[in-house]
Amino acid sequence: MTINTADKTHEQQHGMSNAGYIRIAVILAAITGLEVSTYYVDFGVLFLPALLIMMVIKFVMVVSYFMHLKFDNKMFSFLFYAGLVLAVGVYAAFLATFKFFIQ
């Protein structure tokens, strides 16, 4: 129907080419390589923040590009990020009550 074709053209306009996807995959692979290297190379105090930042970057890249959230309707983002933000907030508070972060 009109509805779905509209959806599709929208995607073709803003979506990515296959080459684009491969580029994203290469970046993801590179970050993964960096992550794994922390196991062999001593990153010192940067170890934890670096790992967490790389994790978040990979996460956001897959969500935004492979899952198209960046190009799609805002309602999708709302549904997903509402769950994600709630999960992070609630479970962080939960772990905090166990004094998890000040061990």
Interface residues toward another protein, by CB under 8 A = 1-4, 6-8, 11-12, 15, 18, 21-22, 24-25, 28-29, 32, 35-36, 38-39, 48, 51-52, 54-55, 58-59, 62-63, 66-67, 73, 75-76, 79-84, 86-91, 93-95, 97-100
Burial annotation 20-39 (CB, 10 A radius, 16+ → b, else e): eeeebeeebeebeeeeeeee
Q: Give burial (CB, 10 Å; 0-12/13-18/19+) of 103.
A: exposed
**To the nearest whole angstrom, how small is the minimum distance from the Cβ of residue 46 to another protein?**
13
Q: Report how far residue 49's alpha carbon sits from residue 71's, in angstroms, rounded to the nearest whole number.
A: 29
**To the nearest whole angstrom, how small is the minimum distance from the Cβ of residue 82 to another protein?**
6
Question: How many other C-beta atoms can be found within 10 angstroms of the C-beta atom of residue 2?
Answer: 6
**To the nearest whole angstrom, how small is the minimum distance from the Cβ of residue 68 to another protein?**
8
Closer CB to another protein, residue 18 or residue 45? 18
**To the nearest whole angstrom, how small is the minimum distance from the Cβ of residue 7 to another protein?**
6
Q: For residues 70 and 64, is the Cβ–Cβ distance under 8 A?
A: yes
Closer CB to another protein, residue 46 or residue 90? 90
